[in-house]
Amino acid sequence: MANFTRRAIKESFWKLLNQRPLNQITVKDIVEDCGINRNSFYYHFEDLPALVEEIIGEQVQSLIQKHPTVSSVEECADAVIELVMENKRAVYHIYNSLSRDVFERYLMEACQYIVSTYLRAEFAGKSIDSQDLDALIRLHKCACFGSVIDWLNGGMKDDIADYFRRVCALQKRGVEQLVH
């Protein structure tokens, strides 16, 4: 029963967050939507920021579980885009709220995982200095993160998937030149 209630709270929150900004959602709205009382909400979550953090963390863990390996630059970009696009409005609302820091921390974690997984596999067994590999991971992680943040700041208007495919094609040519 506890897992059912916890899941109902999260589903109601996502539904509401896809409809309106985070600062316009209250615990009262959530409990009314999922048909529970306030005490049940507070039994499961300390407050709304705790709910936001858990949901974002679960989304990132889901992405990691879906992608235990990353075999191409395109798959790398698609994985990060998938994380954001599944609930585009909700992500935008979280990003434009007081919980932005939580979103950014988990987005950086997702970018780190995806880029690191891909580049470590790409360079496995090849002659590349470990410091160079670490530098490439950091560069591409930050580029991925920054691109998503720039897209969010621009109102999510551009086709970010097309943008990442273009960037991936350019990066792929650069990576091929680095391999000895």
The separation between CA 85 and the C-alpha centre of its own chain, rounded to angstroms, equals 9
Tell me: pLDDT of 178 over 60.
Answer: no
Quick one: average pLDDT of 38-55? 92
Token pair for 61: 């863990």
Amino acid, single-letter form, for residue 92 = Y
Taking the domains of the chain in order of start, what are their residue ranges? 1-45, 47-178
Q: What is the mean pLDDT of residues 106-133?
A: 88
Q: Is the pLDDT of residue 72 over 80?
A: no
Contact 14, 86 (CB under 8 A): no
Please state which of the ranges 20-24, 75-79, 101-105 shows the lowest mean pLDDT.
Answer: 75-79
User: Which tens digit of pLDDT belongs to each residue from 105-116?
Assistant: 988 998 898 889
> Tokens 């992500």 belong to which residue?
91
pLDDT of 170 reads: 79
> The tokens of 174 are what?
């650069």
Average pLDDT (43-62) is 90
- pLDDT above 60 (res 1): no
Helices and strands in the chain, H and E counts: 9, 0
Q: Which residues contact 40 (CB under 8 A, 6 or more apart)?
A: 5, 9, 31
Going through 2-156 in order, the beta strands assigned E by DSSP cover none
Alpha carbons 79 and 172: distance in angstroms, whole number? 17
Contacts of 69 (CB under 8 A, 6+ apart): 117, 121
Higher-confidence residue of 40 and 84: namely 40
**Overall average pLDDT of the 17-24 stretch:** 92
E-strand stretches of 3-148: none
User: In the structure, what pLDDT confidence band is assigned to residue 179 with cuts at 50, 70 and 90?
Assistant: low
Look at residue 47 in the predicted model and tell me its pLDDT: 93
What integer best gives the mean pLDDT of the chain? Answer: 86
CA nearest 146: which of 131, 163, 130, 134? 163
Architecture of domain 1-45: Orthogonal Bundle (1.10)
